Structure 1
Amino acid sequence: MPHRPMPRLFVVRHGQTEWSVNGRHTGISDIPLTDRGVEQVKATAQKLVGEGKLIDPKNLCTVFVSPRQRAHKTFHLLFENAEKVPDHILTEEAREWDYGDFEGLLAQEILERRPGWNAWKDGFPGGESVGEMESRVDHIIQQIRAYHRKYFEEGTVSRDVMIVAHGHFGRVLTTRWIGLPLDQGTKLTMDAGAITILSYNHNTLDEPSITALNLSSLLL
């Protein structure tokens, strides 16, 4: 097998929205980016996206994008100066955790209704359970690893995959990528507009790893 650099997955959280600032649970609600959110994504694109940069469009074999406008807009802002927008798939599999009865509520408001509630253990009534969320994320991970195998073992696709999605989704995906129980996601941070890089250790696809966590344009 020819030596190839390890494939990567770029996990992008959409830029700031009014509800992300306020701390409201934003699942199915189609909330737009704020002006600040647009600036965040453009700053990240300027520093990280482009030929010869960390995220080189020609190295992306595909991008999974949540259909919510805050994610879809983030994707197009990231590549607005690219010669060609990477191939991408709008998919509900990359949507945010369905918050059900708790959509639009603050954590404090949820706890007033249901004392002791923990999203990572209890899920969301009227929305997705912990098991449903884990199953959905595990399925999209399988699809990503299929692309990575085609690149690493066959050289038939480009090196990298990207997901442009949401905060809880990204934390769940990062947790499941390295094989931890979903409730360990509470230990991770994923700021609005931030990027996490997932890959593999020791030149084998059998050892999924976290390469960089929560890269933000504010820190670059």
Structure 2
Amino acid sequence: MPDKDAGTPRVYLARHGETEWTKNGRYTGVTELELTPHGVTQVQNSGRVLVGPGRLIDPSRLAHVFVSPRKRAVDTFDLLFEGVGKQDLVESGRVTTTEKLAEWRYGLYEGLVTKEIRALRKEHGLDQDREWNIWRDGCEEGESPQEVTARLDSLIEEIHAFQAGNMHGEKPADVLLVAHGHLLRAFTKRWLKYPMEFPLSLMMEPGAIGILSYEHHSIDEPALMVGMAFPSQSAP
């Protein structure tokens, strides 16, 4: 059976590697943290397997790379493309660092874990009849789901501008996003046109790569690619 969606552009999602707060579940928005040594290894391993000429993420097929301005995301981008096309991507103007991909602004919840956030909210007279849910309730003195939706929808419009005229592989139009756990899951919901509070359970490990695309070569049919065959790698 032929691949009816061959040539359709992809949007690759890259989550930054592990940090100390990733390890213990602390909400990390604006706080600048280094990758742990294990986090560096996570990203390098993903890069070796998935990034490079003839691999899943081929720099020659990337129309653009969008990167969160947080250091842990910038470092992840650098590690993913170590020795495999980073300079050409940058020099050709195909890399943009953008606040649209910054992690959810957690406000009062920065550095807390979920149980601490829920306890704090109850102290503030909130959530007396139900537990806090970031997708529905947002963050005190931080971002609401509506604010996150607005910036992600704006980014999706930019991505569509790269891809709309290339739905059959007319020219390379893949896009890579390098960002954060909550933000990339939020992006996936908006890509699929779901409201932020839609109960879509998504998991993404530090250093992981996810894939979004379209059905039927149609810009109006965004899709989650739950699996794909890996391309044949070029000989070294």
TM-score (norm 2): 0.84
Which residue does the alignment assign to 2:222? 208
Which residues in structure 2 correspond to 1:158-197 (within 5 Å)?
Answer: 158-184=172-198, 187-197=201-211
For CA contacts below 8 A with separation 6 or more, give which structure has more relative contact order.
Answer: 2
Highest Rg: 1 or 2? 2
8 Å contact from structure 2 (residues 189, 200) kept in 1:
no
Report the counterpart of residue 217 of structure 1 in structure 2. none
Structure 2: distance between partners of 1:188 and 1:123: 18
How many angstroms does 1:104 deviate by? 0.5
Q: Which residue of structure 1 aligns with residue 153 of structure 2?
A: 138
1:26 and 2:28 correspond: yes
Q: Distance in 2 between matches of 1:212 and 1:36?
A: 26
The answer to whether the 8 A contact 1:171-1:185 is kept is: no
The structural deviation recorded for 1:112 is 1.1
Q: Is the contact made by 2:8 and 2:169 (CA closer than 8 Å) also made in structure 1?
A: no
Equivalence for 1:118: 133
Q: Equivalent residue for 2:7?
A: 5
After TM superposition, the score normalised by the length of structure 1 is 0.90
| Structure 1 gap ranges (5+) | 214-220
* TM-aligned CA deviation for residue 188 of structure 1: 0.8
Alpha-carbon spacing, 1:101–1:10, altered in 2? closer, same or farther (3 Å): same
RMSD: 1.8
Structure 2: distance between partners of 1:40 and 1:4 = 29
The answer to whether the 8 A contact 2:109-2:140 is kept is yes
Distance 1:84 1:94 in 2: 19
Equivalent pair of 2:52/2:85 in contact (CA under 8 Å): no
Counterpart for residue 61 of structure 1? 63
Number of residue pairs the alignment of both structures matches: 210
Preserved CA contact (<8 Å) 2:62 2:175: yes
1: CA distance between counterparts of 2:173 and 2:220? 17
